[in-house]
A and B are shown apart, each in its own frame.
Chain A
Amino acid sequence: QKEVEQDPGPLSVPEGAIVSLNCTYSNSAFQYFMWYRQYSRKGPELLMYTYSSGNKEDGRFTAQVDKSSKYISLFIRDSQPSDSATYLCAMSAGGSYIPTFGRGTSLIVHP
């Protein structure tokens, strides 16, 4: 079992839909949780960063962390075709802060 599990998709939704992206993990030492967006042939862009459990909102994006279930989510409201990309979750423990990445979920938002 991988430390971080993420469904690769693709996930196809109509424009305007609410998108839910998820990751599960097995390492209880993880405390820092990140979501990145990666367009084709580009480096990943940090979207959200959360420490420990709870919710964080930034514009159309909401990140949720449930440490008791070892489950994190990213919600995208009012999705746009420009949101079409691969979304990577990442998490790390304190100390080395070396991130462990999920394999990424490909999202397609069609007009």
Chain B
Amino acid sequence: GAVVSQHPSWVICKSGTSVKIECRSLDFQATTMFWYRQFPKQSLMLMATSNEGSKATYEQGVEKDKFLINHASLTLSTLTVTSAHPEDSSFYICSARRRGRAEAFFGQGTRLTVV
């Protein structure tokens, strides 16, 4: 199967600071990457979809100035949580898919705690 690596797996930051999460496809070219947020015992909430070389498309209710997504290459996408607050604490997960294929492969997830 295809491998998606997400880093860091966990991070603690102070309120008001920014945090960057990386998502890399290790053995395939990811034309599309998805970013999700997951609360305990709940399903995945899609935050945004990014296509390589294009601006990300954000889901309704997701602040694009707070959650900056960059998909600069076919193997790397980043999510930056700007001016983080305790309510941003959550589990963030990325996934990636190849061109013309429907199945997506997930990273390990990043647990963000804002104190």
Contacts and interface: CB of A to CB of B under 8 A. Distances in A.
A49 B103 contact: yes
A101 B104 contact: no
Contact of A101 (B6, B43, B91): B43
B34 A98 contact: yes
A18 interface: no
Chain B contact patch, size range: 20 to 34
Given A98-B34, A98-B46, A101-B43, A92 B106 contact: no
Given A97-B32, A97-B97, A98-B34, A45 B42 contact: no
Nearest to B1: A46
Contacts of B47: none
Contacts of B49: 96, 98
Interface string A69-111: 0000000000000000000100010101111011110000000
B108 A43 contact: yes
Chain A contact patch, size range: 20 to 34
A43 B44 CA distance: 10
Contacts of A102: 43
A95 B101 CA distance: 10
B93 interface: yes
A101 B36 CA distance: 11
Given A101-B43, A103-B43, A43 B107 contact: yes
B57 to A, nearest CB: 9
Contacts of A43: 4, 6, 93, 95, 106-109
A32 interface: yes
Interface string B19-34: 0000000000000101
